[in-house]
Amino acid sequence: MILEFNPKDQAHLTQRRINRLTKIFLHPLGLCHLEVKLDRLMVHCTEAWMVDSLMDDLDHFSETARIILGTQVISLYFAKEEIYRTATEPRLPIAS
């Protein structure tokens, strides 16, 4: 038997996964806006220290995002501009 989720169910599951990731990295992710599109996690931060905090623990953050969300790429945004992009798999090339 194959389960098929409707878009509402998919959105609900994605939000639950984002909440789980946010709880692990509460400071600063609790203050950032997270968005998942396809295989990319986009983290929109309003303060530079938030980005710095994520960058300090980037390896752990990348691995955790890959496990919880299944994302292959993380993009960090500050002031509505992408300032950093990385693959969650160490050997995975990043496509623009």
Residue 45 structural domain: 32-89
Residue 64 falls within a domain, yes or no?
Answer: yes
**Number of other CB atoms surrounding residue 42 within 10 Å:** 18
The whole-number pLDDT of residue 5 equals 81
The whole-number pLDDT of residue 92 equals 59
34-69: per-residue pLDDT in tens? 999 989 999 999 999 999 999 999 999 999 999 999
Residue 12 falls within a domain, yes or no?
Answer: no
The whole-number pLDDT of residue 46 equals 93
Number of structural domains (the chain) is: 1
Q: Which amino acid is at 74?
A: I
The single residue listed with the structure tokens 């995975």 is 92
Residue 9 falls within a domain, yes or no?
Answer: no
> What tokens were used for 69?
């969300």
Residue 25 falls within a domain, yes or no?
Answer: no
The least confident of 1-10, 13-22, 25-34, 87-96 is 87-96
Residue 95 falls within a domain, yes or no?
Answer: no
pTM of the complete model: 0.85
Residue 77 falls within a domain, yes or no?
Answer: yes
From start to end of 1-96, where are the E strands?
A: 33-37, 40-45, 73-78, 81-87
3-state helix, strand, coil in the chain (%, to 5): 45, 25, 30
Residue 22 falls within a domain, yes or no?
Answer: no
90 pLDDT more than 90:
no
Radius of gyration, CA atoms only, the chain:
14
